[in-house]
Amino acid sequence: MTNNHAQSAPYQTTSLNHLSSLDTLSDELKARLSRITYVLSDTDNTMINHSCALCSADGTPSFELAKALVLARKHHISIVPCTGRNRAMIREDARLLGLSQWIGEMGGIICIKDGAESVWEYACADMEYDANSHKTPHDMIMQTGVVDALLKRWSTSLELYNDNGLGYQYREVTVALRGKLDEAEAQDMLNHCGLALDLVNNGVVTHINGPTILARNAQGVATNISNYHIVPKNLNKGYAVAQFMRMMNLSREQVLACGDSSADCSMAQSAGLFVLMQNGAKNQSCMQELAGADNVFVTERPSTDGFCDLIHLLCACQDEYKSTGI
């Protein structure tokens, strides 16, 4: 693992060492990694690839992720998914992976204890929200009428992104859209809706599930289409990580975050260390987001393979620290 921010030149993934190789790390870095007790991780194309927990980055059947999660538990390292998924989706994903904490809706819902007596809260950043209103932040956004206005303005190229293609949107904080719009114009509409909101581009859509008004080619592939989230102003994963750390009384040196997209890079501002998956290092927007940061590292392998390498390295550093006292 090599620190990428010694200079402002573009990142060169070819110069990185394997994460699994302890002998490439300085004693100082080993000590830092040995103190990590929480890993806050993006899900898709980071912890999990191909929407499956039982395959490697290239799609080959594999149980390496399961082994890594078991190893982390044995070393008392908590894995916390941080995702754009809604509560119903991430809660079940986390439960099946044996994880009891999670962050959903791009940071909008923070759960520090799931189960019969869950402990969670909404994160609304700079958007005013009254928890006693008996309305969700999502309800408040919809009631401004700005979502209907956006859908009317781009009536042939924008639609609600209904979770799992089921025809309804079960969200509590954010509003999910997909399609094509003028982002500057859309943000201006949000600026005048009466609530403090941001439009976030959450990446390109290549496959569409469920009914849609959006154009697809003969192969059924969408082109030039993005996922968008309308979120409370200044809400991002970095804000959510900071709130999670506050709720759990964690120091920065205990927390490592990892991801593959520009939406994940804000976590580098809150966590003590941030690890970008190799596939994210090919994304220029990630490089721009992380420029100048001194706590960012890159895996040598992509997505779930890189994530598993990272977990093995953290545990190896912890083992070495215990045996040698570095």
Residues 278 and 219 in one domain: no
Beta strands across the sheet bearing 102-104: 102-104, 109-113, 119-122
Torsion angles phi and psi, residue 289, rounded to 5: -60, -35
- Structural domain contains residue 167: yes
Residues 103 and 117 in one domain: yes
Which structural domain range is residue 152 located in?
Answer: 137-232
Residue ending a domain, choose from 185, 216, 232: 232
Q: What is the pLDDT of residue 167?
A: 56
**Per-residue model confidence as pLDDT tens digits over 92-139:** 999 999 999 999 999 999 999 998 899 999 999 999 999 999 999 999
Residue ending a domain, choose from 232, 250, 275: 232
**Per-residue model confidence as pLDDT tens digits over 137-161:** 999 999 999 999 999 999 999 999 8
Residues 32 and 175 in one domain: no
What mean pLDDT is predicted for residues 24-51?
Answer: 93
Residues 110 and 241 in one domain: yes
pLDDT band at residue 6 under the 50/70/90 scheme:
very low
Using the predicted structure, report yes or no on whether residue 7 has a pLDDT greater than 50.
no
- Structural domain contains residue 5: no
- Structural domain contains residue 131: no
Residues 195 and 287 in one domain: no
- Structural domain contains residue 148: yes
Residue ending a domain, choose from 210, 232, 254: 232
47 vs 80: CA distance, rounded Å: 10
pTM: 0.88
- Structural domain contains residue 91: yes
Q: Position 184: which residue type?
A: A
Residues 169 and 212 in one domain: yes
How many domains, the chain? Answer: 2
Residue 291 has a CB neighbour count (10 Å cut-off) of: 15
Residue whose token pair is 């598993």: 308
Using the predicted structure, report yes or no on whether residue 237 has a pLDDT greater than 50.
yes
Exposure of 50 in the CB half-sphere (CA atoms within 13 A)? 14
The CATH number that applies at residue 84 is: 3.40.50.1000
Structure tokens at 75: 């070393």
Q: Which pairs with CB-CB distance under 8 Å and at least 24 residues apart come from 80-83?
A: 80/38, 80/39, 80/40, 80/41, 80/244, 81/41, 81/42, 81/43, 81/47, 82/40, 82/41, 82/42, 82/43, 82/107, 82/237, 82/240, 82/241, 82/257, 82/259, 82/264, 82/267, 83/42, 83/43, 83/44
- Structural domain contains residue 2: no
- Structural domain contains residue 1: no
Residues 87 and 179 in one domain: no
103 vs 81: CA distance, rounded Å: 6
Residues 26 and 117 in one domain: yes
63 vs 33: CA distance, rounded Å: 24
- Structural domain contains residue 143: yes
Residues 270 and 297 in one domain: yes
